[in-house]
Structure 1
Amino acid sequence: MSRVQTYRLLTERCLAVHPDGDVHGWRGLLPYARVKSYDRKAPIKPNAWGGGAVGALQWVFQSPAGRGFESCLREHILRKRSVLESSLRPRMAVFRWFLAELRDRGFEHRGDWPFNVEKRGYVTLSRFIDRVLAENPARARQLTSDDSARKAASGDGTRRPLLAPFERVECDAHKLDSRMMVLVPSPHGGTEPRMIHRLWVVVLIEVASRAVLGYHLSLRRECAAEDVLRAIRCALQPWAPRELQFGNAAYLPGAGLPAHRFPQLVGACWNEFSVDGALANICKRVDGVLHDVVGAKLVKPQDRASFSRRRSKDDRPFIESFFARLAADGFHRLSTTTGSSPVARRGTDPDAAALATQFQLEYAQELLDTLIANYNATPHSGLGYRSPLEQLDRLLAQGNFKPRRADPDAVRRIVGTRKLCTLLGGVKSGRRPHFNFANGRYSAEWLCLRTDLLGENLWLNLDDEDDARYATVSTQQGHFLGVVRAAPPWHRTPHSLYVRQAIRSLEKRRLLHLATNSDAVEALIRYAEATPSGKLPAHPAYLEARRILQKHAEQVAGQSMVSLSRMGSTSAEHDAVPAQRDRGIGTALPPMRRAQQW
């Protein structure tokens, strides 16, 4: 190679400016590397096959009629969108403006490009739009969405500050991608299946160790503040493995929640509670419990100084990653799954699969408990393939963390309701002293002797949220006075305030009739079970009533329903008993029926 050729390569190729702003350098010596854009000088004369129009857009920009058109086109591509206009502008809108502008400049009248080709220069214009957006990446992100610009301004997570154990907890709700059913008594004998709506699960995950602290399966159509409080209480109370119906080896060795593996973490509090801004998470009831019982700060998108945004998976990455894993390794592997989208069903019918397999609500509860417990004992790729419980054990072994523990009595009453009510009645009104609380009337014998309290504002505390039949009364100074009981029809079967509210709503719609001394919960159960199959899913209040009755039945029996079903019917004893018994000998009621008694 001669000296002249070497000098020409260095000056014309290596020292040429690259589109990234630097010189080409040794990149300019690569074979077939283009260091200069095509410069068309000849007029455009397309042939019959569409060829002969290379560099046509550049020729338009340099033509006398296209003077200043390039800057106008770039400005139109990068201009700010109007308020009502979508941020994702389609290229066809730019293409229509492109043709209209060239038509006004006389290109169509003269028969010049792009009006003498088949696609009117659409492909060329699309490539020019891509090049303009690539030259202005910051503006391109702003045109895409505000969230994209915010993500680009933030870091990649490598400089994220290290959090201590229980420094921050993420909480969110996830809708289970599965259909399920319940078995209700049939008037013709036996049981019949009834489909239910898709359920929500509220999960709390600890950020430093990725361990799930607690969860709650909501039986409502939408999550409420009570569901969030139940999940918080689950994280602060001891946990024990369930007695499963589908197997005895479902739990992995060492599986469970942190409170089960580490007794010193029972009631351990956290400092920050990060949520997505849903009303169930940021209401005053949840915020008050976090401040008074847990001593945590609520991190919500509504705060101006908060870093988080609504519906952004990057602001709560750990809880969103857990939900993806819960779906992929759990409910998406069942035949009853609905998938994360209608396309994910792949032609299957989850409703028919749920009825054919009789996938009941109780099975879903057991499956969810085992999936969450096994997750804490499964190696995690983000923790160096240590499980969340092993990572938490490693952090606790460093000796720098001393947990703050919540008051067990306050944790037990965390979901309870408290309201300031006036004691009504007396001699003047001719009525027994009573309180009006949550669509019910509460009274007791001792209130008839305390005429000095008439007209006073007293606190009514519902300590057990699953038994609204009883409430405690105390003064505003905190002195305990006694216990009051709800009047008919709320005096027999245990229920919650949500069930009572649903029953009142059905009664106002003339779908339910409550007699004077009837049992409102029994009326709800009869109404839900008498509804024709296939019309509507089972009422959420009916599912809640079933759960409450099962809980009280287990307390009465002293063991779970699974244990009772495994014991089976004592056929030998029943066969030995004569058919006719003495009327003086009482028969034991089933646990579910005993739960409804005084």
Structure 2
Amino acid sequence: MGERMNVRGRLKGINLEELMHVNPEALQENIREVFANRLTVIRLINQGRTGNFIYRRCGISNSEQTRLANRFLQRDPEGRYFGDRALIPQMRTTEYRRNAPVQPMRSQQQGGLSGVLKLTLERHPTVATEISNFILRFHSDFSGQKFDRKFIAAKFRSILKESGVTEDEWPFNHKGLGQRTIEKYINEILRSDFMCAASTLGEFGVTHAQIGSGEQGLISPSLPFDVVQLDAYKVDQMCIVKAEPLPGIHTSRVIDRFWLLAAVDTVSTGVLAARFVFSSEVRAQDVEDVLISAFLGNWKPRDEAELQNLSYVPGSGMIGYVLPETKGALWGALFLDNAMAHHADRIKIKLKELIGFSVSYGQLKRPERRSIIENTFKQIAEQVMHRSPSTTGSGPGFGRATDAESNAEKYEIFVDEAECLLDVWLANLNVTPRSGSTFSMSPVELIRAHLNNYKVPIYLPTAREESLNKTKLSLDVEYCIVRGSAESGVAPHITIDKARYTNKVLSRSLELVGQRLLVKIDPKDLRQVEAILPNGQSLGCLSVLGYWSKTAHSRITRKLINRALRDRTLEITRKDDIVMSFVDNLLRKRNKRSLLEWQRMERELSSLGQSSSGDDSESIERTAFQLTDGGVTKLEFLDDFFDQSAGGVADE
């Protein structure tokens, strides 16, 4: 009687509407009638009606009323009231609990073990915690291994033995060692936590479980240029580069594993900038070039597109070209992955301060947070690269063309043509309508609609005019100490990447020895730098000395040459031009990695108005290799050794 009065009293002070979780319309008719009658009982108890009144109204006895009230106020495993869920017929609110002891089984006996697992876990409470932790940590502890339930079951039995379960107890006294029961228990643990289960059951689960949870990210872009995503994609294709080792003699070399680097706007999905990177890995300088191009919007259509029967759709192009008002637009955030090139100071410090965006690297192995750029790369792979007869596919057995390397030469799939094709395709993509979040508009149309929205006008912040200078954005700034000695006859100079720089003013200013100069460096051409005194006065341009001064070269090239000199792998072919000697060596090696670097050097020199064949007129007698567009034929090596006294590599 006291228990009945207690539960009725508890029900009177509860707001029933907060405990209603069931939609009666979803129940079958016969079940719905029983449910509705039981719910009426709970409502009447909540209103303070007596048991006899409820019996006359609903036909349910006082004892059954108390049972229903107790079920209604019972808590589920998550600590919430069951509420009206407990009133559904055949709804379990407690798990089955075995009370009978486990008896030895006869040889042909079937069944008789209901609840034995739960009983075993109650007797050995630490087992449940150990096996649960082992299962949910499986992916991190056994990375790359397939989740095997038989292996987990064996581990479970091992934990039971360590906890004191004997051979005469379940599961060891059972013919099948309780395999099916244990596997069901493993599945229950996995079903208890979707995120952990997805992470445990495979590599794809680790990635995909992070999305589709209904939770908004910390950074949620709503307008164009709120978030820009940048990533690199390994091009699944083999191409060839043309070479002319001797006048009129052309050869070809196959290259692969080059990269496409691109930046896209998250809201509009429009491509801001893209370029091929001819290297085994993407470097920080490549990332900086793409970001500056995306920021300035300085893309232009390729003149050679018409020669290759390619055409830009009217009004197409990169976003900054089609919509000039977006040039220099300030970004809210830049989404990057954790590649080493993205953590370089020129990205996370220099460009961040100059352009003004924040950088978000995110978690390791979480490409889904950059879904827009990843989807763009997927379209490039499916619609462009994998349709080529020289494609290498997305992996072993996935789209690789038969004899891809031979096809590259057979069908003459040149790098320049592939790059031009991709440029046209990306430009046209920006004016192609898309479904989904862009409301079936193209990226250009969506950005234009935001800019012309008179109901919700937006202000697109742009950088100051002085910031829209490509040269200034590209410059590196460093402090260098002036070295020199009158006693040793060494004129004052500074050293950058093991090369000496000076001019007439600095070389005569012994009073500057030991002082720090602010130096502005163009990383694309290291032949000259600008030096500034501590008082702000400019020393003018300092020129590099010796064999570095003849051919324009980038900082990347300087570092590669220094590394080759240090490793003693650079064969000297031009005693007064170390850069062209490096180019000669790249083609002499004939491997694909060297060809990638040679192609990068070719682009680098072309952008500076030079050629990989150098400026020498005494071509054959003077050099070991004659280069034009690619390839090499080895000639007689130079008799004289490389003369470093001209001022190239400095040991300091």
TM-score scaled by structure 2?
0.69
- Corresponding residue for 2:320? 259
Residue 231 in structure 1 maps to residue 287 in structure 2: no
Matches for 1:171-320 after TM superposition, within 5 Å: 171-186=230-245, 190-237=249-296, 238-244=298-304, 247-300=308-361, 308-320=362-374
Contact 1:460-1:472 within 8 A present in 2 as well = yes
TM-aligned CA distance change 1:107 to 1:169, over 3 Å? same
* Equivalent residue letter for 2:438: L
- Corresponding residue for 1:437? 496
Counterpart pick for 2:416 among 362, 366, 369: 362
Give the deviation of 1:27 after TM superposition: 7.6
Matches for 1:453-464 after TM superposition, within 5 Å: 453-463=512-522
How big is each residue's C-alpha offset from its partner over 1:210-259, in whole Å with a ceiling of 9 and x where there is no partner?
Answer: 22222332222222221111011111232111123563434233221111
d(CA) in 2 for partners of 1:103, 1:513: 66
Matches for 1:141-180 after TM superposition, within 5 Å: 151=210, 155-157=214-216, 161-180=220-239
- Corresponding residue for 1:543? 599
d(CA) in 1 for partners of 2:573, 2:557: 17
d(CA) in 1 for partners of 2:505, 2:162: 93
- Corresponding residue for 1:339? 393
- Corresponding residue for 2:190? 133
C-alpha RMSD of matched pairs (Å):
4.5
- Corresponding residue for 2:567? 509
d(CA) in 2 for partners of 1:262, 1:346: 38
- Corresponding residue for 1:572? none
Residue 383 in structure 1 maps to residue 442 in structure 2: no
TM-aligned CA distance change 1:327 to 1:142, over 3 Å? closer
Contact 1:236-1:411 within 8 A present in 2 as well = no
d(CA) in 2 for partners of 1:206, 1:113: 58
d(CA) in 2 for partners of 1:134, 1:173: 36
d(CA) in 2 for partners of 1:120, 1:114: 5
Secondary structure of residue in 1 paired with 2:449: helix
Give the deviation of 1:367 after TM superposition: 2.7
Identity over the aligned pairs, expressed in percent?
22
d(CA) in 2 for partners of 1:138, 1:516: 61
Give the deviation of 1:524 after TM superposition: 1.8
d(CA) in 2 for partners of 1:276, 1:38: 51
Contact 1:550-1:592 within 8 A present in 2 as well = no
Secondary structure of residue in 1 paired with 2:398: helix
Contact 1:167-1:270 within 8 A present in 2 as well = yes
* Equivalent residue letter for 1:244: E
The unaligned stretches of length 5 or more in structure 2 are 1-29, 39-59, 612-626, 631-652
TM-aligned CA distance change 1:152 to 1:526, over 3 Å? closer
- Corresponding residue for 2:17? none
Give the deviation of 1:281 after TM superposition: 1.7
d(CA) in 2 for partners of 1:61, 1:292: 61
Give the deviation of 1:139 after TM superposition: 6.4
Secondary structure of residue in 2 paired with 1:337: coil
The unaligned stretches of length 5 or more in structure 1 are 30-34, 301-307, 556-589, 594-598
d(CA) in 1 for partners of 2:463, 2:196: 50
* Equivalent residue letter for 1:317: S
TM-aligned CA distance change 1:258 to 1:53, over 3 Å? same
- Corresponding residue for 1:468? 526
- Corresponding residue for 1:91? 149
TM-score scaled by structure 1?
0.74
TM-aligned CA distance change 1:97 to 1:169, over 3 Å? closer
d(CA) in 2 for partners of 1:67, 1:156: 36
Give the deviation of 1:552 after TM superposition: 3.1
TM-aligned CA distance change 1:53 to 1:26, over 3 Å? same
Contact 1:204-1:231 within 8 A present in 2 as well = yes
d(CA) in 2 for partners of 1:484, 1:159: 48
TM-aligned CA distance change 1:553 to 1:214, over 3 Å? same
d(CA) in 1 for partners of 2:114, 2:368: 41
Secondary structure of residue in 2 paired with 1:373: helix
d(CA) in 2 for partners of 1:481, 1:99: 79
d(CA) in 2 for partners of 1:7, 1:207: 53
Contact 1:291-1:297 within 8 A present in 2 as well = yes
* Equivalent residue letter for 2:405: D
Contact 2:573-2:584 within 8 A present in 1 as well = no
Give the deviation of 1:161 after TM superposition: 4.4
Contact 1:268-1:404 within 8 A present in 2 as well = yes
d(CA) in 2 for partners of 1:71, 1:115: 20
d(CA) in 1 for partners of 2:458, 2:509: 55
Contact 2:207-2:366 within 8 A present in 1 as well = no
d(CA) in 1 for partners of 2:301, 2:342: 28
Residue 351 in structure 1 maps to residue 409 in structure 2: no
Matches for 1:106-125 after TM superposition, within 5 Å: 117=175, 120-125=177-182
* Equivalent residue letter for 1:388: P
Contact 1:474-1:482 within 8 A present in 2 as well = yes
TM-aligned CA distance change 1:40 to 1:189, over 3 Å? farther
d(CA) in 2 for partners of 1:275, 1:130: 37
d(CA) in 2 for partners of 1:103, 1:159: 45
Secondary structure of residue in 2 paired with 1:320: helix
Give the deviation of 1:198 after TM superposition: 0.9
d(CA) in 2 for partners of 1:86, 1:54: 36
Residue 519 in structure 1 maps to residue 573 in structure 2: no
Give the deviation of 1:162 after TM superposition: 5.0
d(CA) in 2 for partners of 1:79, 1:98: 11
TM-aligned CA distance change 1:27 to 1:169, over 3 Å? farther
Contact 1:434-1:443 within 8 A present in 2 as well = yes
TM-aligned CA distance change 1:446 to 1:135, over 3 Å? closer
* Equivalent residue letter for 1:193: S
How big is each residue's C-alpha offset from its partner over 1:547-586, in whole Å with a ceiling of 9 and x where there is no partner?
Answer: 122223489xxxxxxxxxxxxxxxxxxxxxxxxxxxxxxx
d(CA) in 2 for partners of 1:175, 1:495: 25
TM-aligned CA distance change 1:490 to 1:554, over 3 Å? closer
TM-aligned CA distance change 1:85 to 1:115, over 3 Å? same
TM-aligned CA distance change 1:291 to 1:129, over 3 Å? closer
Contact 2:137-2:200 within 8 A present in 1 as well = no
TM-aligned CA distance change 1:151 to 1:442, over 3 Å? same
How big is each residue's C-alpha offset from its partner over 1:469-507, in whole Å with a ceiling of 9 and x where there is no partner?
Answer: 222233234433322322221122221121122222223
d(CA) in 1 for partners of 2:468, 2:536: 15
Aligned residues: 531
How big is each residue's C-alpha offset from its partner over 1:424-456, in whole Å with a ceiling of 9 and x where there is no partner?
Answer: 447543244433222222233454565665554
Secondary structure of residue in 2 paired with 1:174: strand
* Equivalent residue letter for 2:568: R
TM-aligned CA distance change 1:27 to 1:424, over 3 Å? same
Residue 393 in structure 1 maps to residue 433 in structure 2: no
d(CA) in 1 for partners of 2:147, 2:279: 40
How big is each residue's C-alpha offset from its partner over 1:185-224, in whole Å with a ceiling of 9 and x where there is no partner?
Answer: 3469623222334122322222222222223322222222
TM-aligned CA distance change 1:230 to 1:103, over 3 Å? closer
Give the deviation of 1:386 after TM superposition: 0.8
Give the deviation of 1:267 after TM superposition: 2.0
Secondary structure of residue in 1 paired with 2:553: coil
d(CA) in 2 for partners of 1:252, 1:153: 36
